[in-house]
Amino acid sequence: MKLAVPDELLPAHRLGHVHFVGIGGAGLSAIARIMLARGIRVSGSDGVESPTLDALRSLGARVHVGHAADHLGDADTVVVSTAVREDNPEYTAALARDLRVLPRSAALASVMAGRRVVAVAGTHGKTTTTALLTAALDAAGAEPTYAIGADLAATGSNAAEGTGELFVAEADESDGAFLHYAPYAAVVTNVEADHLDHWGTEEAYAQAFDDFALTIDTEGFLVCCVDDPGAEALAERQAKAGLRVVTVSTRDGAADVGPDALAGTELWSPGDHYLADALMALAAGRALGYPDADLLRGIGSFSGTRRRMERKGEAGGIRVYDSYAHHPTEIDGDLAAARALAGEGRLVVAFQPHLVSRTRAFGPAMGAALGAADEVVVTGVYLAREDADPDVTGAEVADGVPLPAERVAFVPELDDVPAALVARAHPGDLVLTLGAGSITDVGPRVLELLDGADA
């Protein structure tokens, strides 16, 4: 569901009792954690039980599984996830009671109020770059507040209230949310068409990043990775418009900050896209005035985030990783990193397409990117907030994989995927599950099957 941002955005302490519909999601749970840390009364609901709900309860939130009108209690403000449908009983009850109803973007803006915001945007790499910048600033003593789209491996949390003036936030462009944050500074990782269900055209999507840049404080700055043509063009336009722009590249001599800046710093994962993320974090920290030595210490100690090339375990001589890639470019990057991790072993990948609209737009390109693996299993489409379309299935992706037919399988039901992967993997191989949906549940089941086979 898409909700309008109100004309007046109140700071969080003026929102009263805040109820979150879809509180278990990465975006809303981060905001809820920060509000709880500030002593704001928080409640919420989600469709399924999860460790995130348990964590929020331990912090003082009243959280329900399932949705019902009486879950609102005496809430003053209701924050609604984009995944919530218009017939959700808590949403309809909030309207009937004339409560303040906010989209995620407005709620995040409310907790940002009064802080110096650094917003990290882009089609790919937002989560890792935001997390790396947070780690770098922590090491430099900045103690920022942060809100990230995944849990940090080091803390097990996707958000925290810091004592410093900075607020580091992952800024999502999927529904235009990032246009409402008015940051002091921003990082744009790349600009490559996505979320065309919202933006309509590639041109409109690219224009949104120029509109985002216009919201940056005139005393602030923009960091762009010019390895990406879209971000490079954005950097050029904004520099001509008078904004301070810092460029980053993984290529020597191609930007203000290049790979030599990280010489001697060991990164948590291989791959040029992770190198670019680290360089952007370093560049932003430098531009904020913090010394390289401290920033690099934080970047070097970074241990990753959940669902971004996350190691799930090993059994039967087979390593299992999980990652969030759901766009052709992201698949390219993660398969390159996984190939480096696999070493002499083969790469066996299970991919779950995410959203009907994205699969319709990029299905064949997703399949082409998966051709970098040795064995591929493609599942049915994870619907999330959309309805099924019988003409758009995972088969379209599988058909686009440029491997011999015996090395590609379309397995529509997720429950059948673990066995399909175990049948294809051999000792020494690396199994990688990819996608932004429920595919993350497959890795542990693969390990269970492999452990059973060893018994």
Of 256, 282, 301, the last residue of a domain is 301
Answer whether 328's CB lies under 8 Å from 362's CB. Answer: yes
Burial class (CB within 10 angstroms; exposed 0-12, middle 13-18, buried 19+) of 138: buried
22-31, 105-114, 186-195, range with the lowest pLDDT: 186-195
The average pLDDT across 180-186 equals 95
Question: Cα separations (Å) of 105 from 4, 35, 151, 225?
Answer: 10, 15, 19, 25
For residues 365 and 444, membership in a common domain is answered with yes
Of 48, 68, 103, the last residue of a domain is 103
Convert the pLDDT of each residue in 426-438 to its tens digit: 999 999 999 988 9
For residues 163 and 89, membership in a common domain is answered with no
Q: Is 156 helix (H, G, I), strand (E, B) or coil?
A: coil
Please, which pLDDT band fits residue 65 given cuts at 50, 70 and 90? very high
Is 108 a member of any domain?
A: no
For residues 95 and 208, membership in a common domain is answered with no
For residues 253 and 133, membership in a common domain is answered with yes
Answer whether 354's CB lies under 8 Å from 381's CB. Answer: yes
pLDDT of residue 195: 62
DSSP class of residue 8 equals S
Convert the pLDDT of each residue in 294-327 to its tens digit: 999 999 999 887 877 889 999 999 999 999 888 8
pLDDT of residue 433: 97
The average pLDDT across 190-209 equals 82
pTM above 0.75, yes or no: yes
By 3-state DSSP, what share of the chain in percent is helix, strand and coil, each rounded to 5?
Answer: 40, 20, 40
For residues 91 and 137, membership in a common domain is answered with no
Query: CATH number of the domain that 59 lies in?
Result: 3.40.50.720
pLDDT of residue 147: 96
Asked whether residue 413 carries a pLDDT value surpassing 90, the answer given is yes
Q: How many CB atoms lie within 10 A of CB 28?
A: 26
Nearest alpha carbon to residue 351 among 228, 439, 446: 439
For residues 133 and 271, membership in a common domain is answered with yes
Percent over 70 (pLDDT), the chain: 98
Q: Which amino acid is at 46?
A: D
Full DSSP string of 271-338: SHHHHHHHHHHHHHHHHTT--HHHHHHHHHH---BTTSSEEEEEETTEEEEEE---SHHHHHHHHHHH
Higher pLDDT, 48 or 410: 410
pLDDT of residue 196: 66
Nearest alpha carbon to residue 104 among 204, 160, 180, 156: 180
Is 41 a member of any domain?
A: yes
Q: What is the dihedral of CA 147, 149, 152, 157, to 10 degrees?
A: 60
Q: What angle do CA 40, 108, 131 make, to 5 degrees?
A: 105
Full DSSP string of 230-281: HHHHHHHHHHHTT-EEEEE-SSTTSSSB-GGGGTTPPPSS-SHHHHHHHHHH
Answer whether 105's CB lies under 8 Å from 1's CB. Answer: no
pLDDT of residue 401: 96
Q: Is 442 helix (H, G, I), strand (E, B) or coil?
A: helix
Query: CATH number of the domain that 416 lies in?
Result: 3.90.190.20
* Count of the separate structural domains present in the chain: 3
For residues 267 and 400, membership in a common domain is answered with no
pLDDT of residue 454: 61
Asked whether residue 384 carries a pLDDT value surpassing 80, the answer given is no
Query: CATH number of the domain that 165 lies in?
Result: 3.40.1190.10
Please, which pLDDT band fits residue 73 given cuts at 50, 70 and 90? very high
Full DSSP string of 328-385: HHHHHHHHHHHHHHHTTS-EEEEE--B-HHHHHHHHHHHHHHHTTSSEEEE-PPB-TT
Of 40, 69, 103, the last residue of a domain is 103
Percent over 90 (pLDDT), the chain: 77
Please, what is the average pLDDT of the chain? 93
Q: Which amino acid is at 15?
A: L
Integer Cα distance of 62 and 76 in angstroms: 15
Convert the pLDDT of each residue in 129-176 to its tens digit: 999 999 999 999 999 999 998 889 888 899 999 999 999 999 988 777
For residues 42 and 84, membership in a common domain is answered with yes
- Which tokens is 339 given? 């190939």
Q: Which domain holds residue 326?
A: 310-454
Nearest alpha carbon to residue 24 among 45, 1, 2, 3: 45
Higher pLDDT, 23 or 26: 23
Q: Which residue has the tokens 């065309």?
A: 196
Convert the pLDDT of each residue in 81-102 to its tens digit: 888 889 999 999 999 999 999 9
